[in-house]
Structure 1
């Protein structure tokens, strides 16, 4: 199925873009965790083939994104009683890591979709769940209009909505709107007259929505994380979800958002390390003082690779542990389980950030000067790691983790914790 009549849509086109068509046929229904992993592995092998070219030439992954959402993986976390596979959050993290190792932009694109759907499941009405989850199960993608770049802090939203009869009217400007350009639905965060945050699920084609493809970062270039303008956009009251409630009580909303981010970083690290090993084996020369015939036999290179792999495996172990803690917090939500899930996810976020950045640095150190040539585009790994790990600074993770273990203080409740 073709997503768009312009399959080579370029990054940073600085223009408003038309909505993408709805899927021509329903998405596949994932059965269980094992099938989710198998499908992710198959897709990753396909996505990896042109990942470097897409990054180099600024081509948005339209065909790949369509295959991704039609595979059923974007609905994998919907509980069984609501029609989904109900896979564990360990499996969700593994799927995102697998895809991100192939193409970290594609791995990031479902992040806000998965987090938004989790909010719907936690705080939506039964009627909202029935309507909107059936769309997600059919293959419709959500793109976010969450963050704003001109506010005092990330949680200081300027976008607002007012009720007008049985509708609401939304006005505001969003940025970092990952996936909105390529989505079928846009979930926008807006404040009511009491300054409470709500999630409003909008049709991508609603009058008043303008999406500008102006994401100009040096990393994660093909995530379509540009601007969303909302001018007197109308939506039925039935599309308004009171997400502020998720942070007024103990819920797994925060760690769910964070574990997906950490999984992207693990994937970046994996892909970087694999490209490092391949380059050393196939192209690098041994250093003159090593006395070796092959770069792959250099003692210092071997030790450095061992260090990278150990750190990667440690990060993965903490990531899977965080997924288990989130699963428990979803089953038994209380102050204790949610705090433990939040802390476990923060610990994983620290190590996944560190290994993603370290791997990007070590690639060039170990592979040598030749690895910096533009023809290989290996710098995309460092660029992607450096850009994506800026999401939710780990310096605050250390603080909250320490405060929890030393003083028993639970981490704060918000989407960045």
Structure 2
């Protein structure tokens, strides 16, 4: 590892270096094809298959049960590194890691026995929670109905991140007026996954439409919506923060490489070469500092989720519930800051490179587009208001984020 690859924030853990080194060759392999995939819109089935084969989806499962036993901060350290390689891949795996946390922190013995072997068999989970039209705020149009010994799922979901690459789909639906969560096979009859996400960023995440038409669901794979990890909201937002942090690191990496390789200089520059131009070097340092701060903030916020997990498995529900509020506020405080740091980094890098950096072959614009897209989830202005309301009035943050019609 070169000096330019070091000096980045990492989890404070004696086991992290060895854990990360196990996956870094795959991360480097993923990074090698990232620009081509972006330019030619090649969905990352192959990179995700590499990660599955390496057991990446099991990093949080305890060693005694066949996984790698990573802590939550260690997981997010890995996700930052993966995002620096290709942020599309991290976002595509977001629902999977959330599903693993639900089983580890809140799963009953039956659910755990049912799902841990599936995870160890490299089966991945995608997401189908949000609905883009039709549902009233606070409810879902998607329905579960009873059909003998099975349940049947019908409805249409959007922002179905990761479903194209998944073996299972985590859904939310209503049955007899109750909101339930569950998992359905991605290849079950009646499940159709569409690659119709049209955003200008994170274009390869599979965040399009999923349609359920009377799809069969096993009752053992359905549970109350609240029967999930207490830190689920913070966890899902932490994945966004890790993805943003990795984008910042990728922007700093690409900027450094382009400055180091540049052979042309300006007549009105501050030195004979770009590599010795103090103004250019200042921009490089500034972008790296922004990316550093983003990752450090993310890893700090991840410690709060770890505390909630520890309290949950220790059988201290009241303490876990209180810690979950603090964890969520910590993440809410981090989100606007990390987003602004990374957006500034992905824009500022062009100041050191000039117009030649805008050619499509470099794909440097992908960093800003991806960061802007991620930063638009769960609007940042609401996070800031929630933090203020907690600080002034002690108001707990909402436990779940939804979008729906108000009329």
TM over 0.5: yes
Distance 1:378 1:231, change over 3 A: same
Over the residues paired in the alignment, what is the CA RMSD in angstroms? 2.1
Match of 2:30 among 28, 47, 51: 47
State the partner residue of 2:147: 164
Separation in structure 2 between the aligned mates of residue 258 and residue 69 of structure 1, nearest angstrom: 23
Gaps of 5+ in 2: 1-14, 312-318, 403-407
Equivalent-residue separation in structure 1 for 2:267 and 2:376 (angstroms): 38
* Aligned counterpart, 1:24: none
Question: 2 CA distance for matches of 1:399 and 1:387?
Answer: 21
When normalised by structure 2's length, the TM-score is 0.87
Deviation of the 1:403 alpha carbon: 2.4
Asked whether 1:407 is paired with 2:397, we answer no
Aligned residue in 2 for 1:260: 239
SS at match of 1:414: coil
Cα deviations by residue, 1:84-107 (Å, 9 ceiling, x for unpaired): 333111111111110110111112
Q: How many residues align?
A: 381
- Superposed CA offset, 1:251-305 (max 9, x none): 1111111111110000011001111121122237444433311223333333333
Q: Secondary structure at the match of 2:169?
A: strand
Contact map agreement 2:294 2:342 (CA 8 A) in 1: no
**CA shift digits 1:102-145 (9 cap, x unpaired):** 11111211101111222233443322211222111110111111
Name the SS of the counterpart of 1:311 in structure 2. Answer: helix
Distance 1:35 1:61 in 2: 26
Determine helix, strand or coil for the equivalent of 2:198: coil
Residue of structure 2 equivalent to 1:186: 169
TM-score by length of 1: 0.85
Partner of 1:301: 280
1:384 partnered with 2:383: no
Contact in 2 for aligned 1:74/1:136 (Cα 8 Å): yes
Relative to structure 1, the CA distance from residue 120 to residue 242 in structure 2 (aligned partners, 3 Å threshold; closer, same or farther) is: farther
**SS of the residue 1:169 aligns to:** strand
> Aligned with 2:398: secondary structure?
coil
Q: CA-to-partner distance for each residue in 1:332-370, whole Å, 9 max, x for gaps?
A: 243431122112222332232112211221122221100
* Partner Cα distance (1:349, 1:147) in 2: 21
- 1:104-253 counterparts in 2 under 5 A? 104-151=87-134, 156-196=139-179, 198-246=180-228, 251-253=230-232
Change (3 A) 1:127 1:191: same
Separation (CA, whole Å) in 2 of partners of 1:204 and 1:352:
33
Q: What stretches of structure 1 of length at least 5 have no aligned partner?
A: 1-31
Task: Return the alpha-carbon distance in structure 2 between the equivalents of residues 392 and 51 of structure 1.
Answer: 27
Quickly say closer, same or farther: Cα 1:380–1:82, change in 2 above 3 A.
same
Maintained 8 Å contact 2:304/2:326: yes
- Counterpart for residue 85 of structure 1: 68
1:328 partnered with 2:268:
no
Q: 1:327 to 1:44 in 2, by over 3 A?
A: same
| Aligned partner of 1:292 among 271, 291, 294 | 271
Match of 1:27 in 2: none
Q: Deviation at 1:82?
A: 4.7
- Please show how residues 333-372 of structure 1 align to structure 2 within 5 Å: 333-372=319-358
* CA pair 370-353 structure 1, distance change in 2 beyond 3 A: same
Equivalent residue for 2:255, pick from 272, 276, 286:
276
Partner secondary structure for residue 413 of structure 1? coil
Q: How far apart, CA to CA, are the structure 1 residues paired with 2:184 and 2:396?
A: 34
Q: Cα deviation per residue 1:17-36 (whole Å; 9 max; x = unaligned)? A: xxxxxxxxxxxxxxx64443
Following the alignment from structure 2 to structure 1, what is the Cα–Cα distance between the partners of residues 22 and 337?
27
- Distance in 2, Cα, partners of 1:382 & 1:50: 19
- Please state how far the C-alpha of 1:179 moved relative to its aligned partner: 1.6
Check whether the contact 1:169–1:234 (CA below 8 A) recurs between aligned residues. yes
Say whether the 8 Å CA contact 1:88–1:323 is kept in structure 2: no
- The offset of 1:40, in angstroms, is 2.9
